[in-house]
Amino acid sequence: MIDKKVNSTGETVRVTFELPGETAEDGVTLVGSFNDWDPEANPMTYVKSRDVWKEGITFDTGQTIEFRYLIDGDAWHNDPDADGYSTTPYASENSVLEL
């Protein structure tokens, strides 16, 4: 699930990324153009009470970001709730969000 909430001034948008708890055993990291594809920059938090992996990031509005989830340190996944997908030079696709 992806939830976007624009602030009252319209200058930023808070994006909450969530994946079901069974998605990973050891952890999920949110990796993308916004963090230079650093697999350690945005680890998702496991919320036991809701059985979800969750991460929230605030972005400036008007930009486009590409991202993927790194599951258990070795499996890359896209988000079916993304606004679209972008083909990469590595014969795969990235999830895309329009902010």
Domains assigned to the chain: 2-98 (2.60.40.10)
Q: Is pLDDT of 91 > 90?
A: no
Q: What is the pTM of this model?
A: 0.93
- Whether residue 53 contacts residue 45, with contact meaning beta carbons closer than 8 Å, is answered with yes
Q: Any residues with CB less than 8 A from the CB of 5 and at least 6 apart, and which?
A: 13, 14, 16
Kindly report, residue by residue over 51-89, the tens digit of the pLDDT: 999 999 999 999 999 999 999 999 999 999 999 999 988
pLDDT tier at 18, thresholds 50, 70, 90 = very high
